[in-house]
Amino acid sequence: MRAFMVEKYGGQAGMREAETPAPQMGPDDVLVKVHAASVNPLDLRIRNGDFKAFMPYRLPLVLGNDLAGQVLEVGTSVTRFAVGDEVYARPDKDRIGTFAELIAVHQNDLAPKPATLTMTEAASLPLVALTAWQALVERARVRPGQKVLIHAGAGGLGSFAVQLAKALGAHVATTVSTAKVDLVKDLGADVVVDYHTQNFEEILDGYDVVLDSLGDENLAKSLRVLKPGGMAISVAGPPDPAFARELGVNPVLRLAMTALSYKTRRQAKRLGVTYSFLFMKADGDQLRELAPLLDSGKIRPVVDTVFPFDETLQAMEYVEAGRAKAGKVVVSMT
């Protein structure tokens, strides 16, 4: 089968298109013909080797973390899917590889594709949808009336998280550039901060939850807009001890992760708030829970550009250069 593979870490030069064997299947696996896959910043970070210290992938590696497609074959223990089903998924972190014609996915990581969505739309969602769900529902337990700040509200994660927070009944603020103000208002944002002309930390105050996808100084400022007892959840900040325990890394690496987040955790403690690092997990059941929100139109996919499969490397360059105006970049196999 055709696939796009990372042969060496360090940038676009380390990737190429290749012919690889079809995936091997276990008894709980579902073989999916990939119709579409989306490009995430995570793909760039994996390609560049940013996670090799604690996620040691064996190269060459087929890249890609989102998919929508159709079931071609099921393992002997599969009970949740049948040949011909339309599905979508974010495969487990140890079994990525959606920039390919075929992929084997554990049945627990897979979900039926929402009926109202095209394959392209569905492929844009799993990673960002699960990240938003695990941050806002699972970790922060957002309740109606709470104040939630979503950074980069026009991005892939932000555009989904703004809509999910509104569906949960929250009062939602977000940060965007001038050109994207109308878009995020249309997605449901109650307060929009134009970061070209405004400083969010001078305008916002008393927030219950912040979802940060930028890290660094943006995260430090975000801690200051929380009310006492509030929580900042970051997908771009330093890993914390809880994440190290979750990964089960060795004591030396655990100590290193603890040190990386020490300054942020200390600042949070002084302010009476908490800091939490999130690396989302594959979860088919959570994708199933999201389906009614998608099929009812309460949350809609935001797709920036669709590239043909042949141009997967160009799609990654497009994302890396920051050329996407809003939402996700998708690669279509059909």
Question: In sequence order, which residues have a C-beta less than 8 Å from that of residue 84 and are 6 or more positions away?
Answer: 70, 71
Domain 127-277 has CATH 1.25.40.10: no
| pLDDT tens column, 180-224 | 999 999 999 999 999 999 999 999 999 999 999 999 999 999 999
The angle, 0 to 180 degrees and rounded to 10, between the axes of the packed helices 284-295 and 126-133 is 100
Q: pLDDT value at position 55?
A: 77
| pLDDT tens column, 30-71 | 999 999 999 999 999 999 998 887 777 899 999 999 999 999
Residue keyed to tokens 């935001």: 302
Q: pLDDT value at position 21?
A: 95
Domain 2-125+301-332 has CATH 3.90.180.10: yes
Q: Where in the chain is the domain with CATH 3.90.180.10?
A: 2-125+301-332
Min mean pLDDT across 90-104, 154-168, 237-251 is at 237-251
CA distances from 117 to 25, 86, 207, 293 (A): 28, 11, 33, 12
Integer-rounded Cα radius of gyration of the chain = 19
With vertex at residue 64, the alpha carbon angle to CA 58 and CA 70, rounded to the nearest 5 degrees, is: 120
Q: pLDDT value at position 248?
A: 79
Q: Where in the chain is the domain with CATH 3.40.50.720?
A: 127-277
Q: pLDDT value at position 176?
A: 97
Under the banding of pLDDT at 50, 70 and 90, the label for residue 258 is: confident
CA distances from 269 to 91, 189, 288 (A): 35, 29, 36
Q: pLDDT value at position 250?
A: 81
pLDDT exceeds 80 at position 318: yes
Give the up-direction half-sphere exposure of residue 118: CA atoms within 13 A in the CB hemisphere.
Answer: 11
In whole angstroms, give the CA distance from residue 34 to residue 65.
Answer: 12
Q: In what order do the strands lie in the sheet with 15-19?
A: 15-19, 2-6, 61-62
